[in-house]
Amino acid sequence: MIFASFEFLFLFLPLFFAVYFLTPFRLRNWPILILSWAFYAWWRVDFLALLVGVTLFTFLVAQRLDAAEGRGRGRWLAFGLVGNLSVLAWFKYANFGVHSFNQAMAALGLATLPWSEILLPIGLSFYVLQSVSYLIDVYRRDVPVSRSFINYAAYKAIFSQLIAGPIVRYAEIADELKERDHSLALFGAGARRFMAGFAMKVVLADTLSPLVDAAFALPAPSLVDGWVAAFAYTLQLFFDFAGYSAMAIGLALMLGFHFPENFDWPYLSRSIQEFWQRWHMTLSRFLRDYLYISLGGNRKGPVRTYLNLLLTMLIGGFWHGANWTFLAWGAWHGGLLALHRAWSRAGGSLPGVLALPLTLLAVILGWVVFRAENLEQALRVYAGMAGAHGVPMSDALAWQILPEQWWAMGLGVVLCILPGFGSFIPWQREPGAIRGIWRFGWQIGPSLAFILAAVLLYSRAAVPFLYFQF
């Protein structure tokens, strides 16, 4: 079940809210937990046991970690981290490891290992990262350990963020797990946020999905084909993932939780560092606080700093998936971050008129290998973007492009650049400052977009969120 489906909108969500608001407040974490587990089990009942097991394991280890003293704290932390990361490594990377090993053995003419594919449990990458952040925060005494299993399990299982984030830290909602506000105003604000995210996903991302698939599948893309593929995916990925995050944040707000923002118009960034301060911000903060700083950050000299940046992004890329493409994408961004830091330390700077398009170009080039199924496909698209197979759009792609896909790309561009105009555009101001027609648009705009998205969803099959595969 996904958010952009009629099963979710007209079956699960009404049932959830009915049970939730009919439950006394002091017991409302129970329906969050039980119905979120039911939401997860809708996909695969057997993998619910894994989610429950990881939750219980982390909860119990955190209790012992909090009670321990001296070196015992470090041992319990290591035990908890190894336990969680071992689960992630087995389900996410075992296939990749065995396949890579078998390819090497086959190249040498040696026997390969027999292997049956392991299915990746949906959302595993996200709820394992939550476990890691919670254990480290308890170890650092940045957050008090949870004494209530129900509260902690509800935090892990909240259905709105369970599958693809944002990566919510326990400290960010610890107080709201015990006491939170509910009001019509808060519920309405959350509903508008949900509807806006729903429209981003269905109207824009899903409309571009067939075009992206067709363009990346071309055996010899032309220059126009290659850039259409890269540009369309750049928009699809943003509106798909930012749409999911908006829906997750909106649903949480309807329940009285305030989740952290995950996107801040990243395609308006003027440096690669700024891009990572605006894109998937909860992951960026996780990589910074729990990996980059732990590696030494920038405290051990410039060379070590560059190595830490590269290693952090390599791990961040590999976290997205067990594929050489993700390692290449991580290396690309790690190298760009190191280069930007060296350039900044040397006093280099660029005017915004150059910095913004160059940053966007670097991001788009990275998205090609991120989207590609393998390095060979990525190289084909790059060759096309360089004009190796001619310039005009190929007939193989032209006949597949529908008018609504051109409209989706155009609308996506407009929505991406609007925030750059700031206060010059009335609807960019705070809702309280909007008057007349702009206030009216703020109130009904998400509703109209949601209706359009629902009509489109009725006319075509639901498309899974891109980040579900990670």
Summarize the confidence of residues 146-158 as an average pLDDT: 95
Contact by Cβ (8 Å): 96, 78: no
Query: Do 134 and 174 have their domain in common?
Result: yes
- Find the domain containing 77 and state its range: 6-182
pLDDT of residue 421: 62
Q: Would you say residue 422 has pLDDT above 70? A: no
Q: What are phi and psi of 388, to 5 degrees?
A: -70, -20
Return d(Cα 372, Cα 305) in angstroms, integer: 30
Q: Based on the number of CB atoms within 10 Å of its own CB, is 141 exposed (0-12), middle (13-18) or buried (19 or more)?
A: exposed
How many CB atoms are closer than 10 A to CB 268?
18
Query: Do 224 and 163 have their domain in common?
Result: no
Query: Do 177 and 198 have their domain in common?
Result: no
Q: Which residues fall within 8 angstroms of residue 222, CB to CB, at 6 or more apart?
A: 384, 387, 389, 390, 391, 392, 393, 394
Would you place residue 4 in the very low, low, confident or very high pLDDT band (cuts 50, 70, 90)? confident
Helix (H, G, I), strand (E, B) or coil at 390: strand
Helices (H), 179-217: 184-199, 206-216
Return d(Cα 215, Cα 375) in angstroms, integer: 16
Query: Do 190 and 289 have their domain in common?
Result: yes
Contact by Cβ (8 Å): 215, 254: no
User: Of the candidates 121, 149, 182, which is a domain's last residue?
Assistant: 182
Query: Do 176 and 193 have their domain in common?
Result: no
Contact by Cβ (8 Å): 278, 300: no
What percentage of the chain carries pLDDT values higher than 70? 94
Query: Do 150 and 249 have their domain in common?
Result: no
E strand or H helix that includes residue 68? none
pLDDT of residue 411: 86
Query: Do 367 and 432 have their domain in common?
Result: yes
- Is residue 290 one of the residues assigned to a domain? yes
Q: What is the mean pLDDT of the chain?
A: 89
Q: Would you say residue 353 has pLDDT above 60? A: yes
- Is residue 375 one of the residues assigned to a domain? yes
- Is residue 1 one of the residues assigned to a domain? no
CA 136, 139, 144, 149 torsion: positive or negative?
positive
Contact by Cβ (8 Å): 102, 115: yes
Return d(Cα 210, Cα 224) in angstroms, integer: 17
pLDDT of residue 443: 67
Q: Which residues fall within 8 angstroms of residue 23, CB to CB, at 6 or more apart?
A: 30, 31
pLDDT tens string 179-216? 998 999 999 999 999 999 999 999 999 999 999 999 99
- Is residue 317 one of the residues assigned to a domain? yes
Which token pair is 379? 């190289």
Q: Would you say residue 36 has pLDDT above 50? A: yes
User: Of the candidates 125, 150, 182, which is a domain's last residue?
Assistant: 182
String of DSSP letters for 100-164: HHHHHHHHTT-PPPP--PPPPPTTHHHHHHHHHHHHHHHHHTSSPPP--HHHHHHHHH-HHHHTT
Query: Do 133 and 211 have their domain in common?
Result: no
Q: Would you say residue 432 has pLDDT above 60? A: no
Q: Which residues fall within 8 angstroms of residue 267, CB to CB, at 6 or more apart?
A: 234, 238, 360, 363, 416, 417
CA distances, 295 to each of 88, 140, 163, 301, 310 (Å) = 21, 16, 28, 12, 11
pLDDT of residue 7: 86
Q: Based on the number of CB atoms within 10 Å of its own CB, is 367 exposed (0-12), middle (13-18) or buried (19 or more)?
A: buried
Summarize the confidence of residues 332-356 as an average pLDDT: 89
Summarize the confidence of residues 241-246 as an average pLDDT: 93
Helix (H, G, I), strand (E, B) or coil at 366: helix
Is the peptide bond preceding residue 166 cis, with omega within 30 degrees of 0?
yes
Would you place residue 262 in the very low, low, confident or very high pLDDT band (cuts 50, 70, 90)? very high
pLDDT tens string 38-57? 999 988 888 999 999 999 99
Query: Do 118 and 93 have their domain in common?
Result: yes
Return d(Cα 77, Cα 93) in angstroms, integer: 23
State which amino acid sits at residue 31: P
Helix (H, G, I), strand (E, B) or coil at 232: helix
Q: How many residues are given for the chain?
A: 470
Would you place residue 150 in the very low, low, confident or very high pLDDT band (cuts 50, 70, 90)? very high
- Is residue 457 one of the residues assigned to a domain? yes
What percentage of the chain carries pLDDT values higher than 90? 67
- Is residue 226 one of the residues assigned to a domain? yes
Return d(Cα 334, Cα 270) in angstroms, integer: 17
What's this model's pTM, rounded to 2 decimal places?
0.91
Contact by Cβ (8 Å): 386, 218: no
Q: Is 320 known to be catalytic?
A: yes
Instruction: Give the chain's domain count.
Output: 2
Q: Please identify which residue in the block is written with the tokens 């595969």.
A: 469
pLDDT of residue 87: 95
CA distances, 310 to each of 29, 339, 341 (Å) = 41, 10, 12
Q: Which of 320, 333, 340, 389 is catalytic?
A: 320
Closest CA to 230 of 383, 81, 428: 383
Contact by Cβ (8 Å): 146, 62: yes
Query: Do 202 and 175 have their domain in common?
Result: no
Q: Would you say residue 426 has pLDDT above 70? A: no
Return d(Cα 97, Cα 387) in angstroms, integer: 35
Contact by Cβ (8 Å): 305, 298: yes
> What does the angle CA 178 – CA 181 – CA 182 come to, to the nearest 5 degrees?
125
- Is residue 21 one of the residues assigned to a domain? yes
Query: Do 68 and 33 have their domain in common?
Result: yes
Helix (H, G, I), strand (E, B) or coil at 119: coil
Of 314 and 448, the one with more pLDDT: 314
Helix (H, G, I), strand (E, B) or coil at 293: coil
Q: Would you say residue 427 has pLDDT above 80? A: no
User: Of the candidates 138, 158, 182, which is a domain's last residue?
Assistant: 182
Summarize the confidence of residues 450-457 as an average pLDDT: 82
pLDDT of residue 434: 47
Query: Do 164 and 237 have their domain in common?
Result: no
